[in-house]
Amino acid sequence: MRRLLTYFSRGELALWFSSLALILASFFLFDRESYLTLAASIVGVTSLIFCAKGNPIGQALMVIFSVLYGIISYSFAYYGEMITYLGMTAPMALFSLIAWLVHPYKGNRAEVAVNRLRWREIPFLIVLTAAVTVGFYFILDAFGTANIVPSTLSVATSFGAVYLTFRRCPYFALIYAANDLVLIVLWALAARTDISYLSVIICFAVFLVNDLYGFISWQRMARRQTETKI
């Protein structure tokens, strides 16, 4: 435990513990029943703090979070979220875990080597994301997905984020932050009929703050790794 506490900076520990406190508070205030949601939130925010450090443990935890979140999404007929996280985010998190382990920074498996996308890869990402989003729209429509517009936007942002995570690009955290905003809207719509989903909204608000920090952290990592090469 002492080793874990020394691994993170004081600011990171403060972010992590305050995030856990908010998640626990929202659970006891608005839910008190869905321990699956509580478990998913705790696993998710812990995943993000490790991902912010470029640690592959974050991707392993993301696989677990994706499975739990897929089950939660199924309970409210958010089939888009269920299919996205079980059929795309979970497998891509597994591939990202492998990619991060294969590309450690100077042999340090606790920190991945940051990668920069080439300009010619960006149009490919845009076209691929658009194709996946359009394909998923028709699948979600066929399943009668609730709130299909934000659900489709969630697919687009999720795919862009998992692709950039796999490619070890710092902007994955920024796209995940955009996905958090979409999910806050999505679950706000659900909360209109079931107030217990307010805990999910707070969960993704916490994720938003952590993803923004993750982007800042990866930018610092990229600069440090670049300066070390010089």
Q: pLDDT tens digit string along 36-50?
A: 889 999 999 999 999
Where do the structural domains in the chain lie, given as residue ranges?
Answer: 34-102+118-229
Q: What is the pTM for the complete model shown?
A: 0.91
Give per-10-residue mean pLDDT for the chain (230 aa). 81 96 91 85 95 96 93 80 85 95 93 93 95 91 83 91 95 96 90 83 94 97 84
Nearest Cα neighbor of 224 from 121, 148, 113 is 113
Res 127: pLDDT = 96
Res 230: pLDDT = 56
SS3 198: helix
Q: How far apart are CA 176 and CA 52, in angstroms?
A: 12
Res 192: pLDDT = 85
Nearest Cα neighbor of 66 from 176, 144, 206, 190 is 176
197 with 40: CB under 8 angstroms? no
Res 1: pLDDT = 66
Res 193: pLDDT = 84
Q: How far apart are CA 174 and CA 164, in angstroms?
A: 10
Res 139: pLDDT = 87
215 with 28: CB under 8 angstroms? no
